[in-house]
Amino acid sequence: MPLAGRRHYSGRNLSRAVTIADLQGMAHRNLPAFVREYLEGGAENEQTLRRNRDAFSNIEFRPSTLTGVGAPDLSTTLFGTPMRLPLVIAPTGFNALLRFEGDRLLAQAAAKAGVVFTQSTVSNERFEALAAVPDLTHWMQLYVFRSQAFMDELVARAQAAGCQALMVTTDAATFGNREWDRRNYRSGMNPTIRNKLDILFHPRWALSVMARGIPAFGNLLDFLPPDQQSFARTAIWSREQIEPHLHWSHIQHLRRIWKGLLIVKGILSAPDAQRAADAGADGIVVSNHGGRQLDGAPSPMAVLPDIADRLKGQLVILADSGILRGTDIVKTLAMGADAVMTGRATLYGLAAGGEAGVARALAILEEETRRTMALLGCRSVADLNRDHLRTVRP
């Protein structure tokens, strides 16, 4: 049982945040209820959301001692490019709800930390604007829309902006049933009266976000008439325009028109991973969309070994969903991933303290990963494998 009186830090001093859970508490203090729910919620009964975390608890380490490990090397190579850390910031949308210019703050922190930033199609910034962030390794995430002309235009813009990779999300052709999120709105994007009143108890958020006006989704504006470019209208339009008949032929088409790295996100089986390779993908993301789409889907950790056994070396394998600790990162890498992606961890930092909060989140994950590898007796990311793990029954 937890010791009486224990609680995570939730003040405003970022230097006192020693875990991602501390940043989560700080974020919750800053955000009104309906924004917290958007950040935290999952689909339906949230079984998959819980399973993503439980999966890590069901895996034990098998440490080696007296290995003379010293300071472990966290560097790796991703798509032939040296990386300081085996970490990618995952694509997340509506980030301006958490902090004014949230996407830019995430990108700037990523560039300074030397990690990849993946920008969502439904970012509140245009691809071209974030491409100008100095030293940024910039990937683009794509939702496939009904209009192929519009989709092709988005891809061409990202190509011209210098995005190195195109990450196609495949598990959101039907929008997930996020029931608790939906309860916060009377209709469309209009919060309930209770949630509007709750904003009064979060004046810092209101002055940062609401007072300046939540920007619309910059990458979609060119396709909408001027009188329909509000945040709420664009959000509704984007959901309506997602291609419901998404198929492998769409991946093949994107492979023909996209000249950079192509990554398929939303893979949860080895057969689909093989299909991605056959369609010309350079990499995949083993992902259940953070538990926000199909409730009852498996954790990536449950399917990652099979995928790695069949595809390791043919594709770069990334994995996300539920990663909040350095121990989670090490377990995911040892299970066969080449690198991990995290969304909520850096969003907690963003909501807690802007760019400095994102930097703190990345520093915590790096520190925890390095310590875990040292205690495991492992010198480098390349040395991690399943011999370092043991799966236990829940």
Q: What is the CATH number of the domain that holds 381?
A: 3.20.20.70
* Residue 254: both structure tokens together: 């994107």
In the chain, what is the greatest distance between 2 CA atoms, to the nearest angstrom? 67
Closest to 72 (Cα-Cα) out of 362, 324, 384: 384
- How is residue 394 written in tokens? 């829940």
For the record, the structure tokens of 233 come out as 């209208």
199 domain-assigned: no
Q: How many domains does the chain have?
A: 1
Q: How far apart are CA 379 and CA 386, in angstroms?
A: 15
- Position 197 in a domain: no
Q: Using alpha carbons only, what angle is made at residue 161 by residues 159 and 209, rounded to the nearest 5 degrees?
A: 125
The one-digit pLDDT tens for each residue of the chain (394 residues) are: 567 778 887 888 899 999 999 999 999 999 999 999 999 999 999 999 999 999 999 999 999 887 778 889 999 999 999 999 999 999 999 899 999 999 999 999 999 999 999 999 999 999 999 999 999 999 999 999 998 888 999 999 999 999 999 999 999 988 888 888 888 887 767 788 898 888 889 988 998 887 777 777 888 887 777 777 677 777 777 778 888 999 999 999 999 999 999 999 999 999 999 999 999 999 999 999 999 999 999 999 999 999 999 999 999 999 999 999 999 999 999 999 999 999 999 999 999 999 999 999 999 999 999 999 999 999 999 999 999 999 887 6
- Identity of the amino acid at 340: V
DSSP codes joined into one string, 171-204: S-SS----HHHHTTEEETTEE-HHHHHHHTT-HH
Is 289 annotated as catalytic?
Answer: yes
Q: Which domain holds residue 252?
A: 26-178+239-391
For residues 366 and 19, what is the distance between their CA atoms, to the nearest angstrom? 11
CA atoms within 13 A on the CB side of 220: 31
Dihedral of the CA atoms 350, 290, 206, 204 (nearest 10)?
A: -40
Q: Name the active-site residue from 28, 138, 202, 289.
A: 289
Dihedrals φ, ψ of 23, to 5°? -60, -35
Residue at 152 is within a domain:
yes
Looking at residue 214, its pLDDT comes to 73
pLDDT of 394: 64
Is residue 45 within 8 Å of 62, Cβ to Cβ?
no
Decide if 384 is inside a domain. yes
Match 């798509």 to its residue by tokens.
79
DSSP class of residue 90 equals P
- pLDDT in the model for residue 322: 94
Q: Which amino acid makes up residue 72?
A: P
Tokens 């709420």 label which residue? 232
Q: Report residue 186 CA to chain centroid gap.
A: 28
Query: Is there a domain that residue 333 lies in?
Result: yes
How far apart, in Å, do the first and last CA atoms of the chain sit?
A: 18
Q: Is residue 274 part of a domain?
A: yes
Whether 304 is in a domain gets the answer yes
Dump the DSSP string for 337-348: -SEEEESHHHHH
385: three-class secondary structure by DSSP: coil
DSSP code of residue 298: P
Alpha helices in 186-311 (DSSP H): 193-199, 203-205, 231-241, 248-257, 270-278, 300-311
Query: Half-sphere exposure (CA, 13 Å, Cβ side) for 199?
Result: 18
> DSSP class of residue 137?
E
pLDDT at 89: 98
What's the confidence (pLDDT) of residue 234? 74
